[in-house]
Amino acid sequence: MTSRTVTLLDVARTAGVSKSTVSDALQGSGRVAEATRDRVRAVAEELGYRPNSAARRLRRASTGAVGLHLPATATRLDYYMNLAFGAVERAQEDGLDMVLLAPSGAAGGRIASRVDGLLVIDPEPGDSAVPGLLDAGVPVVTGERYLGPATGPSGAVVCDNAASLTALLDHVTERGARRPALLAPSGSSAWATALRATAGSWGRAHGVTVTLRTVPFAATPAEAEAATRALLAADPAVDAVICAPDGSAPGVLRAAAALGRKVGALSAISASGPSGPSSASDVSGISEASSACEASGGSGGHSGSGGSGGSGGSGRNGESGQSESGQSEGDRSESGQSKGGQSEGDRSEAGLREGGRSEGGGPGTPRGTGAAVGPVGAGLLVASCVDGTATRSAEPPVTAVDLHPAAYGRACAELLCDILAGRAAPDTVRRHSWSLETRASTGSRG
């Protein structure tokens, strides 16, 4: 059947059923026995049958389009733009146009009349538009699982964000870090939830304090810089900073430079300094250092490839980085990071002022604090949960998790196309891979 287009009739003849039975079996409609439905789908797959999109639209009064909902901060982040391009490319291969939905969303019924299906990336339970989208009456595929109380999506594509953060923590530990810290995304996406949970579980398993600072899901470099200054002022023994939000790593590098910390290698003093949990942190494996950044945090999407996520997306443990394993919204802000400078709370908590050194402060002391932040030249490892232009072009280049966002977008669109065409069951969950890119910021050769 390779010399011409395989038709519905070809599938019917090979499967030994009527043409209408094949149509119902592939579309998931009609009263077709499960065994017959499985046989028809297997034959269609074997013959390489692809539905005629134009004919399908005429039969079903289809719109020939699918909708894409991204976190509100998505337009600022490389991760989501690359993801969107991948999704558009894959949808077009099935003859479907991609409609980008406004962040505020619309009533589910109105959306359903304009599209055949929906992609909802890094859905945040706090996003008021998401429940209506999931209950719009058309197939829905989410990029990362939705953790809120609403009708479940038709399918999902998930990353193991717990595993990706574990890989980062293992890596900086292998490079000599003894007191790692995480700038974790705020919000309740699967990505964000997974990252925060994994920091705690990894710390408990390894008997190491993981200092946690919560920053906006889409933290800007300025917000990441302020949070890092406050972090190192409060705990000079921190020798590795892992930042979650997409694009925020340059802010961590700026903070390190301002405090005289050498990025990419740990000095003998740093490497042999305090290690392991202390006081209350011994029990939880994580040191909560609440940041004023949290109060100013927003929601949005992952992680870079994410991101996933917690995209903020998304807390991800296990298959989706949520309760199954951990995500992760990354990410991607719950997908990324909100643009903007540091807040008054950031400055007051870090004890920073515009101006000179405080009385009694020495080298490596934040202005206005009088607290030591480790010796000038002490080493600091820096890594990111989301790879992208900001991490690759930084000086030094930053070790990061590549969530392969374009491929992730393709995977989400492919699952939606397969569900619409009857090639996949409505509740299918597929997994997306990530990779760790080691670079100079952790003393590694990229």
Helix axes 19-27, 34-47, angle to 10 degrees: 90
Q: What separation, in Å, do the N-terminal and C-terminal C-alpha atoms of the chain show?
A: 47
- 77 pLDDT more than 90: no
- 14 pLDDT more than 70: yes
The whole-number pLDDT of residue 266 equals 83
Quick: pLDDT tens for 151-163. 667 799 999 999 9
- 312 pLDDT more than 70: no
Chain-centre distance for alpha carbon 256:
25
Report which of residues 422 and 269 the model is more confident about.
422
Quick: pLDDT tens for 383-425. 999 999 999 999 999 999 999 999 999 999 999 999 999 999 9
Mean pLDDT (whole number) for 190-204: 96
The contacts of residue 4 (CB under 8 Å, 6+ apart) are none
- pLDDT interval class at 130 (50, 70, 90): confident
Report which of residues 144 and 270 the model is more confident about.
144
- Token pair recorded at residue 119: 């992609």
The answer to whether 347 and 366 have CB atoms below 8 angstroms apart is: no
Report which of residues 9 and 231 the model is more confident about.
231
The whole-number pLDDT of residue 321 equals 36
Neighbours of 356 (CB within 10 A): 9
Task: Please give the Cα distance from 288 to 290 (Å, whole number).
Answer: 6
- 221 pLDDT more than 50: yes
- pLDDT interval class at 308 (50, 70, 90): very low
Identify the bridge partners of residue 212 per DSSP, sorted by sequence position. Answer: 182, 288
- pLDDT interval class at 346 (50, 70, 90): very low
The answer to whether 147 and 125 have CB atoms below 8 angstroms apart is: yes
The answer to whether 126 and 71 have CB atoms below 8 angstroms apart is: no
Task: Please give the Cα distance from 197 to 323 (Å, whole number).
Answer: 9
Mean pLDDT (whole number) for 82-108: 85
- pLDDT interval class at 194 (50, 70, 90): very high
What is the torsion angle, in degrees rounded to the nearest 10, for the CA atoms of residue 270, residue 273, residue 276 and residue 281? -90
Average pLDDT, the chain: 76
- 291 pLDDT more than 70: no
Cβ-count burial of 16 within 10 angstroms (0-12 exposed, 13-18 middle, 19+ buried)? exposed
